[in-house]
Structure 1
Amino acid sequence: MFHSFFPQPKLFFPSIVIWTLIAIAVWYLFAADLGLSLGFTPVPEEQQPIDLSFFLLPENMWFYGYFFLTAMLFCGFWHLKAADHPWKVWSVWGSALIIFVTYFGVQISVVINNWRRPFGDLLVNALNKKPGITVENFYDLFLIFAQIAFLSMFVSILTDFFTSHYIFRWRTAMNNFYMANWEKLRHIEGASQRVQEDTMRFSSTLESLGISLINSVMTLVVFLPIMLALSHYVTSIPIFGEVANSLFWLAIFWSVFGTVLLAFAGIKLPGLNFKNQRVEAAYRKELVYGEDHADRAQPLTVQELFSRVRKNYFTLYFHYMYFNVARSFYLQADNLFVYFFMTPTFVAGAITYGIFQQISTAFGQVSNSFQYLINSWTTIIELLSIHKRLKAFEAAIDDEPLPSIDQRYLEQEGSVAHPDG
């Protein structure tokens, strides 16, 4: 699944984590201050532009240069180290491009968030009939938003286009690798389905999950400092009273709570989804044999196989029921969470509507990023079940015993197909 596309994945992926931590440490310990000394002075959050000139701010230009330097060093190293790997351009350089474009997309969200403050304040002032407000003021802000929106659309469409090609190259690498080892794989139950369908589902599922994960990480990198800066508007919260950086800690607490809640509620679902694929495959396999052999797909055998399908589905329905109860409870409470803890700030009149819009959006961005597992849990469950099926291929290629769950189901299928054996 991975070494067909990435060079030495057991070394490559840890090296990404280590290099990222090193790059972050160097940025905060040295590179950011170096930028200041070279004249790349940060602009205070309240003074940041709300139009496309945001991307040309000195601190942004300095960070872009730093990102490109660290990416070039990392990718260049792996390009030379994996000189013979056929997919190194897509897997190494393509991954770096996706990470940067995703970061740039998050920055577009920052510009839109900056735009919300003047628009919200202008709207309230207009509704309160304050003098000096004209339709041109609104049209100017609408024009700025249109420019940001078109840039967002352009980046999003190109990112989706490139990512689709990236993921299909990954599927191609898996397909080529499995077909090169077909003699070892063709005896495994559902081998053709795993090569064709599971690799397709694995790649498409990773496309959505991978982009969501990168976007969540980049959103945290960009919006956490913004959340810290906005926290000075909310100095007191219910129950806890005065709390420094209150919005920051609330976002972390609420997201961790939701993640633990849903991880606990959905702990059984990956295994059940995997079992569901197996019982469906066994049932389908017997029906296919029955098309060509009169002694196969007999009523008792089919009834037994379908009873397993029914039992597994009913078990899935039960576990998804309480999982959805927990998920719905959390998501409904999430709608009022930030409003509840900001009530003292509302009553004190400490912020304007525009500032509240900015806080609400930033809080939502940070909490949604921390809630990656919550928002993606059902997709992760599907990916884990696909991964379990493809692991059997890896075991066969490496001449290792099949995973225990595969062996158990092969024994069960054999007892059904040959009840007298």
Structure 2
Amino acid sequence: MFKSFFPNPKWFFGSLILWFVINLALWYSGGESWGSYLGFAEGYATAELPIGISRFWTASFLWFYLWFFISTALFALFWKWKSNNPWQAWSVWGSAFILFNIWFGVQMSVVVNAWYNPFYDLIQKMLSSGGGDVNQLYSGVLTFLYVAMVYVTTAVFNLFFVSHYVFRWRTAMNDYYTAHWEQLRHIEGASQRIQEDTMRFAKTVESLGVSLVEALMTLLAFLPVLLSLSSHVKALPIVGEIPYALVWAAISWAVLGTVILMLVGYKLPGLEFNNQKVEAAYRKELVYGEDYENRADPQTLKELFSKVRFNYFRLYFHYAYFNLVRIWYMQLDNLYGIFVLFPSIAAGAITLGLMMQISNVFGKVRESFQYLISSWPTIIELLSIYKRLKAFESTLDK
């Protein structure tokens, strides 16, 4: 699943995490200001960034682009020397490009969040003082539209690239499995595992990986903002005053939802795996029946289909209470963001613009902590696919 596409996966992913941590430590321990040695103006790293599209060609952003490229090139050259995997151009450089696009999308969200406060404060000021210059509203909306256009364009291009990335991964697995077809063809559902499961696995892993990295990058970008905004929100409903109230509110709510969903959904991966097995057995008998008259008789098909029905009914039952809990949680989550601000709103401690900004930042951080909640159905599907392919590969391991 992995070694066909990535060079020596065990060491590759370990070195990737290590290299990421090293770069993160260097960047936040002073590296973000090292661009001054290359001619960038002194103090560029601490300068206030503009709220708009011009932010992305300021000195601090240009220095990050250069840093990211050099860091990726060093990592790619190391693995080019260490391994000769034919898919390294896609698995190393392609993964880096996807990571960069995720970071860029998060930075777009940061700009939009910064836009909320002055724009909605402007609206509040006009409403409370009898009006104002309408051109200021047009200018504020245009700022948002410029950012949104760039964000949508890059997001669509990234989706196009990811589609090719996933298909290359599927091709690598396909080539690996078909090269060992003689050992694998006797395994139940071998054709389906190669033809269907490889694509589903690559697509699902990529989707979950992107979501995880996006959640981590969102936390890195928005958690410091939430910490600073916590100075405006001193108290929470029921709890009362607490330091860093918004941060604790986001973490506790996300952890509560994650634990509950893990408890109510722990049976689903095994049931999904069994579902794939009984479906494959039923499909295989039907295929044999197309070529041989003595196969796929009504009694055999009835027995096989009864197993399919039994497993589906169990899935329906377990998914019923799982979805009930998950959807109720997500509905309550829609109200939670404004609920935690009730004491501050009642005390008149925040403005409309600040409320919108806090709600947006709080939502971003909360969603990042809720990665497992939003991804749990996909994780269940991935676990069932992984079990099938792992059982498939065990023949080659032997």
In the superposition, the TM-score normalised over structure 2's length comes to 0.94
Residues 191-215 of structure 1, C-alpha deviations (whole Å, 9 max, x = no match): 1111111112112223322222222
Q: Which runs of 5+ in 1 are unaligned?
A: 400-421
What is the 5 A alignment of 1:392-411? 392-399=391-398
Residues 271-309 of structure 1, C-alpha deviations (whole Å, 9 max, x = no match): 101111110111111122223323222232222111111
Cα distance 1:327–1:36, how it changes in 2: closer, same or farther (>3 A)? farther
Q: Is the 8 A contact 1:49 1:114 kept in 2?
A: no
Cα distance 1:200–1:10, how it changes in 2: closer, same or farther (>3 A)? same
What is residue 358 of structure 2 aligned with on the other side? 359
Matches of 2:225 and 2:63, distance apart in 1: 18
Q: Is the 8 A contact 2:234 2:243 kept in 1?
A: yes
Q: Is the 8 A contact 2:119 2:140 kept in 1?
A: yes
Which deviates the most, 346-355 or 115-124?
A: 115-124
User: How far 1:129 sits from its partner (Å)?
Assistant: 4.6
Residues 148-184 of structure 1, C-alpha deviations (whole Å, 9 max, x = no match): 1111112111111111111111011001111111111
Give the letter for the 1:365 counterpart: K
- Supply the RMSD in Å over aligned alpha carbons: 1.8
User: How far 1:355 sits from its partner (Å)?
Assistant: 0.9
Matches of 2:215 and 2:80, distance apart in 1: 27
What is residue 327 of structure 2 aligned with on the other side? 328
Cα distance 1:62–1:231, how it changes in 2: closer, same or farther (>3 A)? farther
Matches of 2:112 and 2:183, distance apart in 1: 54
Matches of 1:62 and 1:42, distance apart in 2: 13
What is residue 104 of structure 1 aligned with on the other side? 104
User: How far 1:58 sits from its partner (Å)?
Assistant: 4.2
User: How far 1:270 sits from its partner (Å)?
Assistant: 0.9
What is the 5 A alignment of 1:168-183? 168-183=167-182
Give secondary structure in 2 for the equivalent of 1:166: helix
Q: Is the 8 A contact 2:33 2:43 kept in 1?
A: no
Q: Is the 8 A contact 1:236 1:242 kept in 2?
A: yes
What is residue 45 of structure 2 aligned with on the other side? 41
What is residue 371 of structure 1 aligned with on the other side? 370
Cα distance 1:313–1:177, how it changes in 2: closer, same or farther (>3 A)? same
Residues 230-270 of structure 1, C-alpha deviations (whole Å, 9 max, x = no match): 11111122233322222122212211221111111111111
Q: Is the 8 A contact 1:106 1:222 kept in 2?
A: yes
User: How far 1:319 sits from its partner (Å)?
Assistant: 0.7
What is residue 68 of structure 2 aligned with on the other side? 67
What is residue 245 of structure 2 aligned with on the other side? 246
Matches of 1:92 and 1:17, distance apart in 2: 13
Give the letter for the 2:238 counterpart: I
Matches of 1:305 and 1:169, distance apart in 2: 36
Residues 130-150 of structure 1, C-alpha deviations (whole Å, 9 max, x = no match): 34x122111111211111111
The number of aligned residues is: 394
User: How far 1:386 sits from its partner (Å)?
Assistant: 0.9
Q: Is the 8 A contact 1:71 1:96 kept in 2?
A: yes
Matches of 1:160 and 1:379, distance apart in 2: 18
Query: Within the alignment, does 1:50 sit opposite 2:54 as a pair?
Result: no
Matches of 1:66 and 1:235, distance apart in 2: 39
Which deviates the most, 299-308 or 50-59?
A: 50-59
Give secondary structure in 2 for the equivalent of 1:267: coil
Q: Is the 8 A contact 2:183 2:396 kept in 1?
A: yes
Matches of 2:310 and 2:274, distance apart in 1: 11
Overall identity of the aligned pairs, in %: 55
Residues 23-62 of structure 1, C-alpha deviations (whole Å, 9 max, x = no match): 2222333424656895333245xxx422112223444344
Which deviates the most, 87-96 or 232-241?
A: 232-241
Give secondary structure in 2 for the equivalent of 1:128: helix
Give secondary structure in 1 for the equivalent of 2:29: helix
Query: Within the alignment, does 1:26 sit opposite 2:26 as a pair?
Result: yes
